[in-house]
């Protein structure tokens, strides 16, 4: 990779972006625009920035992720999740940059009981899912070299996510009712970031002295990148609470009760089946995503350092 190469990283304060930043720095000069520099709801600001920076890589974990709110804010969801991605793709194509973009299991309709592959028919059931699918399609149509990583149930030790919410509520309440008929796999944000860095390294090694976009012609496409294994939201929460009790036997944590999706209605419809096969990722790039139970243990260990048990009582 050229020593003066630039990597444009969006959403650097988000769950995935904050994990990506330190891992991308060894590859070149990472450009992290502030909110004042780009407005993701205004594609023109993105276009101007890309033309100014002329990056070799554009890594885009930024997204509108308020799944339920998107039902009442479809224009904003599409602006950020589709129109912004279209702008990124078109500008990347014009300068020969490669785009790494993150998508979601919500592009599927959630039917069936087997893991989705990259070639399975899509059928989003929510505005969020439809806007993310539109972003995928726009990036592919742009002609830019691209790697789209669909993931699911992202969480980590920072930010806003299901794990941190459950741990907080488990300390505050006696009982919690958790959906137990939606199946998938939690994905650690750091594992996603490590995978991304690994893929960039492999792509650069493959490119050698050739133009990067030319070298990646056969690799461009969609890849599934979700945690290994399978559970439900209730199973995820129950394992997190069990491990917390092991770490701090004196703590008082809520009892969890499994419920059906129909007992917890939300504005946006959630996929019942979020299972995704990651065999293509393993075959093309030699990367196996972490088992969700192992990553959960690692995240809780990190939380035990940043949030000692005594401080959470």
Q: Which domains does the chain have, with CATH numbers?
A: 6-160+186-230+275-290 (3.40.50.720)
For the whole prediction, is pTM greater than 0.85? yes
Q: At what angle do helices 292-306 and 233-247 cross, to 10 degrees?
A: 40
Residue 136 CA to residue 142 CA, distance in Å, equals 10
| Residue 128 bears catalytic tag | yes
pLDDT number for residue 292: 98
What pLDDT sits at residue 4? 74
At 17 the pLDDT is 96
**Rounded to an integer, what distance in angstroms lies between the CA atom of residue 299 and that of residue 19?**
13
Enumerate long-range contacts of 264-267, CB under 8 Å, 24 or more apart.
264/177, 264/179, 266/67, 266/68, 267/68, 267/69, 267/71, 267/72
pLDDT score recorded for residue 218 = 87
Single out the catalytic residue among 116, 128, 155, 223: 128
| Full pLDDT tens readout for the chain, 313 residues | 776 799 999 999 999 999 999 999 999 999 999 888 889 999 999 999 999 999 999 999 999 999 999 999 999 999 999 999 999 999 999 999 999 999 999 999 999 999 999 999 999 999 999 999 999 999 999 999 999 999 999 999 998 999 999 999 999 999 999 999 999 999 999 999 999 999 999 999 988 878 888 888 889 999 999 999 999 999 999 999 999 999 888 889 999 999 999 999 999 999 999 999 999 999 999 999 999 999 999 999 999 876 655 444 4
Using N-to-C axis directions, what is the helix angle for 15-24 and 189-207, rounded to 10°? 40
pLDDT of residue 193: 98
pLDDT computed for residue 313 by the predictor:
43
CB distance 139 to 147 below 8 Å: no
What is the rounded distance in angstroms from the CA atom of residue 81 to the CA atom of residue 129? 9
* Residue 207: its H or E element: helix 189-207
């Amino acid at each position: 990779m050229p020593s003066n190469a630039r990597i444009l990283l969006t959403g650097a304060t988000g769950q995935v972006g904050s994990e990506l930043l330190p891992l991308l720095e060894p590859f070149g000069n990472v450009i992290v625009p502030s909110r004042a520099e780009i407005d993701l709801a205004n594609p023109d600001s993105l276009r101007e920035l890309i033309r100014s920076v002329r990056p070799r890589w554009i890594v885009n974990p930024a997204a509108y992720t308020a799944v339920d709110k998107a039902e009442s804010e479809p224009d904003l969801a599409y602006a950020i999740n589709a129109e912004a991605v279209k702008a990124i793709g078109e500008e990347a194509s014009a300068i020969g940059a490669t785009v790494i973009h993150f998508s979601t299991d919500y592009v599927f309709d959630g039917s069936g009981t087997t893991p989705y592959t990259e070639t399975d028919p899509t059928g989003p059931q929510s505005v969020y899912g439809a806007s993310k699918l539109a972003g995928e399609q726009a990036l592919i149509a742009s002609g830019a070299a691209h790697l789209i990583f669909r993931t699911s149930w992202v969480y980590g030790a920072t930010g806003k996510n299901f794990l941190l919410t459950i741990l907080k509520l488990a300390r505050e309440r006696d009982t919690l009712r958790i959906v137990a008929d939606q199946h998938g796999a939690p994905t650690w944000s750091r594992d996603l970031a490590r995978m991304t860095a690994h893929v960039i390294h492999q792509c650069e090694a493959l490119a050698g002295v050739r133009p990067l976009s030319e070298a990646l012609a056969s690799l461009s496409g969609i890849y599934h990148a979700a945690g290994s294994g399978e559970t439900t939201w209730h199973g995820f929460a129950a394992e997190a609470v069990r491990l917390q009790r092991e770490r701090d036997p004196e703590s008082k944590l809520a009892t969890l009760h499994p419920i059906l999706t129909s007992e917890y209605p939300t504005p946006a419809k959630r996929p019942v089946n979020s299972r995704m096969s990651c065999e293509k990722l393993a075959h093309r790039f030699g990367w196996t995503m972490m088992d969700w139970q192992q990553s959960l243990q690692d995240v809780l260990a990190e939380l035990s350092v940043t949030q000692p048990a005594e401080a959470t009582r």
